[in-house]
Amino acid sequence: MSAPETDTPHCKVVLAGTIAKSLLAEVAEGLKQIERKPLLVGFLSSADPAARVYAEWTGKTCRENGFEFSLREVPRDDLEEALITVNTDRTVDGIIVYYPIFGNRQDQYLQQIVDVSKDVEGLSHRYIFNMYQNIRFLDSHNAKKSILPCTPLAVIKILEHLRVYNTILPYGNRLHGHTITVINRSEVVGRPLAALLANDGARVYSVDIGDVQQFHRGQGLKKKRHEVVEMPGWTLENCLPVSDVVISGVPGDSYKVPVHLLREGAVCINFSSERNFSPEVKEKASIYVPAIGKVTIVVLLRNLLVSPPIVLP
């Protein structure tokens, strides 16, 4: 076990478990409206130790909070058939697959096999399309929310908890005035997160290994959805000094965000399984969130409650 985080005179360290507690209260209210325990089925077909840890966390959190969880370990070559079978099982409310499995486009194919009504990860084409187009509901009456991917949504819930979102502004514009750097542009987390933040009004610099892109909704939030602009020649040296929020998820133990480039008082969030921020970050940041895993799992339960089979008012 790692040592507990400690505050410095300039920095408040906020742990994921603290944020998760408030979200669990919302989940508990939703469960009161259901006469049975929702069943989430997890598929583990990977030897990745992080995937197994996430699966174990999922099961523990489910059972502690009134959900049923079934972990099915399936050889990866049999996973496609297993997903097709469970799609038609009326006792199953949600499906989660622990990626990566093949580590290529075949994983994207598997994501599309999961029936949209049981997709609690928001990875099906319909949900991804809605996310990038800034379409927030599945129906014209705005009764059924479109599901968002768990890790990007967890970051958003953390920013809401930290009051980075300005609740005085209209819903959908509440990050207006913020400049955010997201270090990671994976299709699973980094790029969706940049799009969601920009759709909520932020100017976002999406940093990948070889380039920087800017996600925004135009001057004065004129556009309904974000657009992407290439930033030739830009690096972290351009992005970090102007960003009041920095979110990093580089999956490498050697990578560290250069603290000397951070803006004084920035909010820093790490979503990698590795620590992307050195301890010195607390000398520069106003708020530091070292991990988000516990929030991600609670968001998964929340998605299960608001997915089409179990609709909350």
Q: What is the pLDDT of residue 166?
A: 96
Please indicate whether the domains covering 35-121 and 152-294 agree at the CATH topology level. yes
Which of 8, 307, 312 lies closest to 150 in space, CA to CA? 307
Q: Which residues are catalytic?
A: 150
The whole-angstrom separation of Cα 255 and Cα 97 is 27
Candidate from 9-13, 157-161, 182-186, 205-209 with smallest mean pLDDT: 9-13
pLDDT above 50 (res 310): no
The whole-angstrom separation of Cα 29 and Cα 23 is 10
The 10 Å Cβ neighbour count of residue 186 is: 14
> In Å, how far from its chain's centre is CA 216?
19
CATH topology of domain 35-121: Rossmann fold (3.40.50)
User: Is the separation of the CB atoms in 127 and 135 below 8 Å?
Assistant: no
Identify the band that residue 311 occupies on the pLDDT scale cut at 50, 70 and 90.
very low
**Can you tell me the mean pLDDT for 20-27?**
91
> In Å, how far from its chain's centre is CA 160?
13
pLDDT per residue over 172-229, tens digit each?
999 999 999 999 999 889 999 999 999 999 999 999 999 999 999 988 888 889 999 9
Candidate from 27-36, 174-183, 272-281 with smallest mean pLDDT: 27-36
Q: What is the pLDDT of residue 55?
A: 93
Identify the band that residue 312 occupies on the pLDDT scale cut at 50, 70 and 90.
very low
Contacts of 42 (CB under 8 A, 6+ apart): 55, 58, 59, 69, 70, 71, 72, 95, 96, 97, 98
CATH of domain 152-294: 3.40.50.720
**Can you tell me the mean pLDDT for 129-146?**
88
Q: What is the pLDDT of residue 75?
A: 96
pLDDT above 90 (res 303): yes
**Can you tell me the mean pLDDT for 72-100?**
95
Domain coordinates in residue numbering, the chain? 35-121, 152-294
